[in-house]
Structure 1
Amino acid sequence: MNKRILLPTDYSKNALNAIRYALELYRDVQCDFYVLNVFQVSTYTLDNMMVPEPGEQFYDTAKRNSEEGMAKLMEMIKLGPDNPKHRFHTICTFNSLTEAVKSIIAKQDIDIIVMGTKGASSPKVKIFGTNTVALMEKIKDCPIIAVPEGYFYTVPKEIVFPTDYKSDYKRKELHYLIEIAKLHDSKINVVHIDKNKDGKLSHKEETNKQLLQDILDGTDYEIHFLPAVNIADGINIFIEGKDCDMITFLNRKHLFFGSILSNPLVKEIGYDPKIPILELNDN
């Protein structure tokens, strides 16, 4: 069965860059790409009791602009090398981004979302941009790869997976990490930063570590231990030292975090990612 990948776009350079990243990441995989543009009507809001209808001037203009933008985007994509393994489907819809994505995931059985990030003035959303944050917080059915602005595709040979071993792991949670690693012969670098400074793990942490190793068995992985440092500094130094190409984290929405921005790992790594981030879910 073809892999089904959702590519949200606002027709920016940033979004095009993320699409190109997805095409390269899955170059050797049979894929159906669903390219989504969500349009809205300036005189209406989705909370408004008045919903624009097809045939109304503002709605038709917004729809036409969306469809014209999509046509231009597809022409740009076709300028790249032809890949017979890839098929494209375009969707232009009036909706909120989150609701549109939820609907497409359900209807098309989407496997993964790949989208670009945007710089933003607010430090709370600088991490990925408001749209990416919204999807990471509300989409629970599939993982998201966030591609930083201006990042050019590099084969993800070194993937970093920070962990505190505080919670156990499930094979299905790590499926997409393992899949990408096997697809590109990547090394998974499991990084544990010791906050206790003594290097010792509790019985529960040891059990979780062993479980993680069992799940990663069959992949090229390495366990790393970093002495107690600031987590953000430690991870970023590790990324630079190993020349890592992707960072992965597990966002357990129903356990600890009401918001991705309250996820301790995300907060401490910082709000300005330099490499693509694979956010996994505990669906």
Structure 2
Amino acid sequence: MDKRILIPTDFSKNALNAARYALDLYANLNCEFYFLNVFSLDSYTTKSLFLPEPGSTEYEMAKAKSEASFLKLLDIFKQHHDNPKHSFHTISTINFLSEALKQTIVEKDIELLVMGTQGASGTKGIIFGSNTVNAMEKITECPLLAVPQNVKFSPPKEIVFPTNFKSTFKRRELVYLIEIAKMHETAIRLLYVSKKQDLTELQETNKLLLEDIMQSIEHSFHNLTEKDVSDGITSFVESRNSDMIAFINHKHFFFSSVFSKPLVKEIGYKAIVPILALH
């Protein structure tokens, strides 16, 4: 069965960049790409409890504008990403973004969600837009790959996987990470950031389980003594010029520490890397 990937777009350069990254990352797999545009009406405000109905002049004009933009987008892909392994579908809808994403994921049996980290109205200097962060929190039905706007695709040679070894790992949680690693012969660097380097018995057991799951791909374990987890991850990624960060979002595990400072702001950070949030 073809891999099904959902990419929301507002037709900004950032959204286009995220789409191109996904097309290149999965260039060797048979994939169905679903592009979702949630359009809005100028007269509609969020104070209203009702979304405008199809059939109204304003609704139909907005939908037609969305569909016209999709024709231009597909033309770009035809010229620059003509891959017989890939097929494209477009969805234009009026809805709240989070609801539209969840609905499409269920209806189309989506396996991966790919989002740019800034929309057309993104604030300069902030890497993760609120839509992407909200999706990382709320979308639990499938993994999410967040692609920063300045990152161009090159085959990932190294993915950093931060973990505290406190949760028991399941193979199915890591299947997408291992798939990417096998496709591109990528090494996984398992990073433990803590003031205490000694592991408990439970952590040691979980580490052995993780090593067993990773045995089919190149991997290595690394320790960093840092007070701040996000600082440790950031410095590790920077020092090694790593290509991606992946983590399992166990009950928002790591969420506040990873997505608050250093990692989500462009502070002396030349190559912000994509982040794969697994569930």
Does the pair score TM above 0.5? yes
Residue type matched to 1:272 in 2? K
- Among 230, 234, 242, the residue aligned to 1:232: 230
Distance (Å, rounded) in 2 between the aligned partners of 1:102 and 1:85? 26
Question: CA offset at residue 65 of structure 1?
Answer: 1.2
Q: 1:211 to 1:267 in 2, by over 3 A?
A: farther
Equivalent pair of 1:193/1:231 in contact (CA under 8 Å): yes
Q: Aligned pair 1:272/2:265, yes or no?
A: yes
**How far does the alpha carbon of each residue in 1:256-278 deviate from its partner, in whole angstroms, 9 at most, with x for none?**
56xx8x53333365313700000
Contact 2:51 2:95 in 1 (8 A): no
Pick aligned residue for 2:241 from 240, 243, 256:
243
Contact 1:178/1:219 (8 A) holds in 2: yes
How far has the Cα of 1:115 moved from its partner? 1.4
Distance in 1 (CA, whole Å) between partners of 2:46 and 2:63 is: 15
How many Å apart are 1:242 and its aligned residue?
Answer: 1.9
CA distance in 2, matches of 1:127, 1:100: 23
Q: 2:269 corresponds to which residue?
A: none
What SS does the aligned partner of 1:61 have? helix
Aligned-residue offset at 1:45:
3.9
Aligned-partner Cα distance in 2 for 1:165–1:188 = 15
CA distance in 2, matches of 1:194, 1:73: 45
- Which piece of structure 1 moves more, 128-137 or 10-19? 128-137
Counterpart of 2:15? Answer: 15
Give distance in 2, aligned partners of 1:46 and 1:233.
37
Counterpart in the other structure of 1:79: 79
Matches within 5 A, 1:111-130: 111-118=111-118, 120-121=122-123, 126-130=126-130
Distance 1:252 1:127, change over 3 A: farther
Deviation at 1:155, TM superposition (A): 0.8
Match of 1:143 in 2: 143
Comparing 206-215 and 221-230, the one that deviates more: 221-230
Matched AA of 2:245: I
- List gaps (5 residues or longer) in structure 2: 267-271
- What is the alpha-carbon distance in structure 2 between the residues aligned to residue 137 and residue 176 of structure 1? 19
- After superposition, the Cα gap between the structure-2 partners of 1:137 and 1:229, relative to the gap in structure 1 and judged at 3 Å, is closer
Structure 1: tracts of 5 or more residues without a match = none
Matched with 2:43 is 43
AA at the equivalent of 2:20: R
Whole-Å Cα distance in 2 between the matches of residues 47 and 109 of structure 1? 32
Q: Distance in 1 between matches of 2:140 and 2:217?
A: 26
3-state SS in 2 of match to 1:270: helix
Code of the aligned partner of 1:235:
I
Task: Measure how far apart 1:46 and its partner are.
Answer: 5.7
Question: Which residue of 1 is the match for residue 212 of structure 2?
Answer: 214
Q: Which amino acid aligns with 2:30?
A: Q
Change (3 A) 1:193 1:50: closer
The answer as to whether partners of 1:38 and 1:94 remain within 8 angstroms in 2 is: yes
Task: State percent identity of aligned pairs.
Answer: 48
**TM-score (norm: length of structure 1):** 0.89
Taking the aligned partners of 2:235 and 2:51, their CA distance within structure 1 comes to: 50
Aligned partners of 1:157 and 1:185 also within 8 Å: yes
* Alignment partner of 1:263 out of 256, 265, 269: 256
State the shift of 1:51 in Å: 3.2
- Return the offset for 1:127: 4.5
Deviations 1:70-101 (A, max 9, x none): 11111111110411000011111111111111
Q: What is the distance in 2 between the residues matched to 1:171 and 1:42? A: 46
SS in 2 for 1:223: strand
Q: Which amino acid aligns with 2:190?
A: V
The Cα of 1:207 is off from its aligned counterpart by 1.3
1:68 aligns with 68
Is the Cα–Cα contact under 8 Å of residues 234 and 263 in structure 2 kept in the other structure? no
